[in-house]
Amino acid sequence: MKRAIVNVQALRAGYEKKIVLQDISFSAGQGELIGIIGANGAGKSTLLRTMRGLLPRQGGRVELLGREVGTIPEKALAKQVAFLQQAVEIGFGYTSKEVVAAGRYPYLSWWQGESPEDEKIIRESMEYTDVLSLADTPLANISGGQKQRVLLAKVLAQQTPILFLDEPMTGLDVVYQEEIFRFCQRLCHQGKTILLVVHDLSAAARFCSRLLLIGRGGLLADGPPTAVLTREHLSQAYGLPVQVVHNPVTGSVEVFAGLRRNKNEQLPRVHVIAGGGCGCPVIRRLATAGFEVSVGVVAEGDSDAEAARIFAEDYVITKPFADNDADAAVANGKLVARADVTVLCSLHVGKNNLGNLDAAMKAEKLIILEDSPIDGRDYTGGRAAALYRQLLAKHGVKVMSTSAFYHEMYSLHEDEKTV
């Protein structure tokens, strides 16, 4: 069994008159990259600060490398754990190198300057995070991403086996965020143990070996990303409808949060007629915007069928290449009849899914998404094109591109409210 580098038992954390977290217990081994996730105000930063000894514990125990944190002198503690706080303010005029050099303070007396060995460590830390070229540049004159890399070099210069990073990606664009994550992965591969507060759940799933989900005053889940990032866990922690999708390209999961619904607000029910993958983004965007979505008819193995299973509340899925599935057509017709709005995606039409156009003909309110002319999508010898033109002639039908629909879909709600 691996030695516990960090060991937390029955921790109670908070402030003098307010307990934020109770009964937090977990341990972290060498080389683990652990993301701490949860809603704003859940207590993620409070947990990290309490573990470091910056906030007094209200109960429980925290051990770092086998020693109770409250018994470790400050300088000795600074040699064990480096802490990168969020929103760090640096005094005016300090250069990047001077900031990184501050990471060597646990090893120096007040009267000492940096030794050649200290200079070597400072240089290597700045090289590691690719900021050596900024050594003489005032921190005030560099970008947010560069600043975070300088601050990461500072905690590296402390040469501690444990790093606590409180929202190190705040304010960074996606490129810099991934860069910081990759730095952390490399450090863990070298044996360091890192706990960091993360807001981007999809990024946390890709880069962290383990996640702690904080919510409702405690530890809701602890484990690998696939075990923690479930619809049930996240909906409980964030109070929102959440969808979790496995991405076969990255091998990780992606999280899509819906909008918080007003309990008295009735959103329109939207039926999506799709197929061949053209409906995936439409289904996802409608569902995460808060609409009640149904889908049909789509074939098993089609990516639209997978999107329907994840995001739709009702759907009709048939066997691949099923010709004139009467039961599926009836079920699809019922979903069209129940919907406030039906959206016909820009699908290719063959004999197997020609019935989808018949279903659209029955829609009371129809939106047609047209990204290319029907003649190029008709594989029925003209039957689909003829039926499609009848749809275009229906009273009240709206025709737009899929991209235009993404901008217009929120008006569906307003349209329903004015009926």
Q: What pLDDT is attached to residue 235? A: 86
Burial state string for 205-230 with b = 16 or more CB within 10 A and e = fewer than 16: bbbbebbbbbbebebbbbeebeebbb
Does 316 lie in the same domain as 178?
no
Does 381 lie in the same domain as 314?
yes
Q: What pLDDT is attached to residue 416? A: 44
Residue 218 falls within a domain, yes or no? Answer: yes
Give the type of residue at 62.
Answer: V
Does 149 lie in the same domain as 290?
no
Longest pairwise C-alpha distance within the chain: 89
CB 96 within 8 A of CB 142: yes
Q: What pLDDT is attached to residue 1? A: 46
Residue 321 backbone zone (phi > 0: left; psi -120 to 50: alpha; other: beta): left
Does 276 lie in the same domain as 231?
no
- Which residues, 6+ apart, have CB-to-CB distance to 24 below 8 Å? 8, 10, 11, 12, 13, 47, 60, 218, 219
Residue 254 falls within a domain, yes or no? Answer: no
Please write the tens of the pLDDT for every residue from 186-205.
999 999 999 999 998 888 99
Three-state secondary structure readout of the chain: CCCEEEEEEEEEEEECCEEEEEEEEEEEECCCEEEEEECCCCCHHHHHHHHHCCCCCCEEEEEECCEEHHHCCHHHHHCCEEEECCCCCCCCCCEHHHHHHHHHHHHCCCCCCCCHHHHHHHHHHHHHCCCHHHCCCEHHHCCHHHHHHHHHHHHHHCCCCEEEECCCCCCCCHHHHHHHHHHHHHHHHCCCEEEEECCCHHHHHHHCCEEEEEECCEEEEEECHHHHCCHHHHHHHHCCCEEEEEECCCCEEEEEECCCCCCCCCCCEEEEECCCCCCHHHHHHHHHCCCEEEEEEEECCCHHHHHHHHHCCEEEEECCCCCCCHHHHHHHHHHHHHCCEEEECCCCECCCCCHHHHHHHCCCCEEEECCCCHHHCECCCCHHHHHHHHHHHCCCCEEECHHHHHHHCCHHHHHHHCC
Please write the tens of the pLDDT for every residue from 309-368.
888 989 999 988 777 688 999 999 999 999 999 999 999 999 999 999 999 999 999 999
Residue 33 falls within a domain, yes or no? Answer: yes
Task: Round the average pLDDT of the chain to a whole number and report it.
Answer: 89
Q: What is the CATH number of the domain that holds 278?
A: 3.40.50.720
Q: What pLDDT is attached to residue 406? A: 87
Q: What is the CATH number of the domain that holds 194?
A: 3.40.50.300
Indicate if the pLDDT at residue 19 is higher than 80.
yes
Does 308 lie in the same domain as 394?
yes
Pairing of strands 314-318, 292-299: parallel
Indicate if the pLDDT at residue 417 is higher than 50.
no
Does 196 lie in the same domain as 303?
no
What does each C-alpha distance from 407 to 99, 286, 345, 402, 403 come to in angstroms?
46, 11, 15, 9, 7
Q: What pLDDT is attached to residue 261? A: 56
Domain count, the chain: 2
CB 163 within 8 A of CB 122: no
Q: What pLDDT is attached to residue 10? A: 97
Indicate if the pLDDT at residue 12 is higher than 50.
yes
Residue 222 falls within a domain, yes or no? Answer: yes
Indicate if the pLDDT at residue 96 is higher than 80.
yes
Which of 219, 249, 279 is the endpoint of a domain?
249
Residue 214 pLDDT class (50, 70, 90 cuts): very high
Does 121 lie in the same domain as 243?
yes
- In the numeric block, which tokens belong to residue 235? 């909906």
| Closest among 210, 145, 218, 215 to 183, alpha carbons compared | 145
What's the rounded Cα separation, in Å, for the pair 52 and 8?
11
Does 274 lie in the same domain as 191?
no
Residue 264 falls within a domain, yes or no? Answer: no
Q: What is the mean pLDDT of residues 372-388?
A: 94
Does 202 lie in the same domain as 111?
yes
Residue 259 falls within a domain, yes or no? Answer: no
Q: What pLDDT is attached to residue 243? A: 75
What does each C-alpha distance from 228 to 170, 231, 241, 288, 321 come to in angstroms?
23, 9, 16, 20, 37
CB 128 within 8 A of CB 154: no
Please write the tens of the pLDDT for every residue from 135-174.
999 988 998 888 888 999 999 999 999 999 998 887 777 8
Q: What pLDDT is attached to residue 268? A: 85
Does 273 lie in the same domain as 225?
no
**297 cis-preceded (ω within 30 degrees of 0):** yes
Does 221 lie in the same domain as 290?
no
* Residue span of the structural domain in which 288 resides: 269-417
Does 236 lie in the same domain as 298?
no
CB 2 within 8 A of CB 30: yes
Q: What is the mean pLDDT of residues 397-401?
A: 94
How many angstroms from the chain centroid is the CA of residue 332? Answer: 33
Q: What pLDDT is attached to residue 240? A: 75
